[in-house]
Chain A
Amino acid sequence: MSLIIVLAQASSQGSQNGAALAFSYIFYIFFIALLALSFFPGVQQKTQIMFLSRDVEQKLQMIENYLKDSKSITEKLLKEKGFPDPKAFLDRVIDRFVIDPVSIEPTDIINRMKLLMRSNEDTVREMIMSANPNLDPMTRSQIEISAEVVNALNLIFKVIRHYLIMAKKLNSIMIMYQLQMVAPIYVKYAEAYSKAQKVFLQGIPIGDGLGPLVASKFLMKSSQKFTVSKDTIAGTLEFEGRKLVVVKAEGPMATVGTPGEGVQNVIEREGGKVSRIITVDAALKLEGEETGTIAEGMGVAMGDPGPEKIAIERVAVKYGIPIDAVIVKMSMEEAITEMRKEVYQAADKVIDYVKRIILERTKPGSTVVLVGVGNTAGIAQ
């Protein structure tokens, strides 16, 4: 249609000099050629790939900026803490990986997984401590977290870059479309990780610290506290005639501890005479749900790849102990950055929930184990 209008307008202008006429002819030819070209198969797709890849490249650039930012923060931290060669240390941890255990032979996957994960943590810790043996636990945990953040950002960056290059090489619009769909999500993840690192370095409790916060409010009243497993602490107190054993990661270092093994040890120590296990954790909300809303249910509330969670389930099965779960909802970013006021206020409500569960579901004289699951950065006991 537009072509006809242009032609009509040109003819109505009538007599013009030769040069202008030639120019308008060239213009029409160019215009018609462009129109014809766009109907050729392939051309449209090429231009579409071009636009899509530009969009993805821009997203990739954002992820790379977060990665660079996080690397320079970590390097600065290492330099401050007396690491002889921060760059070399960073190069060693940036591409560190843990290989999943074999899963086609499904016996004992958990133990193999636990071994791999634990020894990886221990190895990184040893690497840090050998670079500077005089580090305090707080700084050490901050360096561990920083290394994890750099590692995660590096992985996101490299995977997105991999698919972008592959889509370009194969000229595949389908890969490009998928990439363009997921890239914004990964930019958000990268942004959240980068924010989280800054929060951890200041020692501010994060949203995921909800569980440890609830536990610490109970442990305040406990006079005897003891270490039950790696980075994990427990304390006993009396509540309405029940013996309450509270387990949480040892703060205020940035660690999630080993709550599963901790609970297992506590219950074995009690000879299995425990009438209830109550787990408290932060949980991811769905879009549209309010931050700080509380829900209760059954099972182990824990965002763990497996070993810690199964330790509680196994000991519970062994002695026939029901497991209650109380969760507080928040977004992924809220879980790994500063604890929001709504979450902080939810902690007191969770304590009421826990107290009600104990009063309703256990008898005086029984023993109850309460676990505050989550990262205990900035929360002592």
Chain B
Amino acid sequence: MAISADSKQVLKVKTVVKCMQCDYTQERDFQVGDFVLKLVGNCPKDNGPLYIAGIYAETLNQKK
């Protein structure tokens, strides 16, 4: 079974914020206190509720 991730990865954690009513999507750096489905204010487009749709880590040093 694969134990470790490939190579020494430098990870950057991102938070994806989406609107419940329209297709507004915003990506920002992760802040402590964020969790998936947390409500984080209103949409600048149609004032609908914004929620955190996902939190993920991106590799910065990919040599592809």
Contact B36 A341 (CB under 8 A): no
Is A203 touching B33 in the complex (CB atoms < 8 A)?
A: yes
CA distance A203 to B57 in the complex (A): 13
Question: A378 interface residue, CB < 8 Å from B?
Answer: yes
Chain A residues, Cβ within 8 Å of B11:
338
Determine if B2 and A192 form an interchain contact, defined as CB atoms under 8 angstroms apart. no
How far does the alpha carbon of A334 sit from the alpha carbon of B56 in the complex, in Å? 11
Q: Is the interface of B mostly helix, strand, loop or mixed?
A: loop
Q: Are B56 and A185 in contact (CB under 8 A)?
A: no
A188 to B16, CA, bound (A): 30
Give Cα A205 to B11, complex, Å. Answer: 14
Closest to B56 in A: A344
Specify which chain B residues have a CB less than 8 angstroms from the CB of A205 in the assembled complex.
35-36, 55-56
Closest chain-A Cβ to B59's Cβ sits at a distance in Å of 8
B37–A220 touching, CB < 8 Å: yes
Contact B3 A341 (CB under 8 A): no
Is A287's CB under 8 angstroms from B57's CB? no
Contact A339 B56 (CB under 8 A): yes
Neighbour of B3 across the interface among A189, A202, A340, A347, CB < 8 A = A189
Interface residues on A, range: 35 or more
* Cross-chain contact of A380 among B1, B32, B33, B35 (Cβ < 8 A): B35
Please indicate the chain A residues that have their CB under 8 angstroms from the CB of B5 in the complex: 291, 331, 333-334, 337, 340
Contact with A along B1-22 (1 / 0, CB 8 A): 1111100000101000000000
Chain A residues contacting B55 (CB-CB under 8 Å) are 204-205, 339, 344, 378
Which residue of A202, A286, A338, A343 is within 8 Å of B1 (Cβ)?
A: A286
A203–B3 contact, CB under 8 A? no
Residues of B contacting A252 in the complex (Cβ-Cβ under 8 angstroms): 35-36, 38
A167 CB–B CB distance under 8 Å:
no
Q: Which residue of B lies closest to A377 (CB)?
A: B35
Instruction: Chain A residues near B4: list those with CB within 8 A.
Output: 188, 191-192, 331-333
B57 touches which one: A191, A192, A341, A381 (CB < 8 A)? A341
Contact with A along B26-61 (1 / 0, CB 8 A): 000010111111100000000000000011111100
Query: How far is B3's CA from A344's CA once the two chains are assembled, in angstroms?
Result: 20
Indicate if the CB atoms of B54 and A347 lie closer than 8 Å. yes
* A321-351 near B? 1/0 per residue, CB < 8 Å: 0000000000111100111110110010000
When distances are taken between beta carbons in the complex, the residues of chain A under 8 Å from B2 are: 284-289, 331-332
A188 to chain B, nearest CB (A): 5
Q: Are A216 and B36 in contact (CB under 8 A)?
A: yes
B27 CB → nearest A CB, Å: 11
Task: Give CA–CA (A334, B3) in the complex, Å.
Answer: 8
Q: How far is the CB of B2 from chain A (nearest CB, A)?
A: 4
* Interface contact B37-A381, CB-CB below 8 Å: yes
**B3 near A380 (CB under 8 angstroms)?**
no
A379 touches B35 (CB 8 A): yes
Give 6 A-B contacts (CB < 8 Å), ordered by A residue. A192-B3, A204-B57, A285-B2, A339-B55, A339-B57, A344-B56
- Smallest CB-CB A-B distances: 9 pairs: A338-B57, A344-B56, A252-B35, A331-B2, A380-B37, A379-B36, A284-B1, A378-B35, A333-B4
Apart from A203-B33, A340-B56, A378-B35: 16 A-B pairs, beta carbons within 8 A: A189-B3, A204-B30, A205-B56, A213-B36, A286-B2, A287-B2, A289-B2, A332-B3, A333-B4, A334-B5, A338-B13, A341-B59, A344-B55, A379-B36, A379-B37, A380-B36
Which residues in A have some Cβ–Cβ distance to B below 8 Å? 185, 188-189, 191-192, 202-205, 213, 216, 220, 251-252, 284-289, 291, 331-334, 337-341, 343-344, 347, 378-381
